[in-house]
Amino acid sequence: MQSGQLLWLRRHAPQRLARATTALHCKDWLYFQATGVRSTCNTEAIFTFGNYRSGAYDDEVLALLGLPELARLLPPIVTPGSA
């Protein structure tokens, strides 16, 4: 779960988070390497940090996880097959 990984990095490797531009899941990193596009699918984003009703990242969820300051790392959400 990405939230646990980000919490660990914040505690044990804050310098890495300070230099990071985007937090990607493995599949998203592979897509980025193939296309140069930083994004995540809507299902992954909503499951991890989002709101099912709005279909977007949710500040309250990030706050409950203790990660509001890391919202800057979340990639844009796309719906597969929409491009």
| pTM of the model as a whole | 0.85
- Return d(Cα 19, Cα 14) in angstroms, integer: 9
The structure tokens listed for 78 are 């796309």
- Return d(Cα 51, Cα 25) in angstroms, integer: 18
Mean confidence (pLDDT) of the chain: 93
Give percent above pLDDT 70 in the chain: 99
Per-residue pLDDT reduced to its tens digit, 32-71: 999 999 999 998 999 999 999 999 999 999 999 999 999 9
Phi and psi angles of residue 9, each rounded to the nearest 5 degrees, phi first: -60, -40
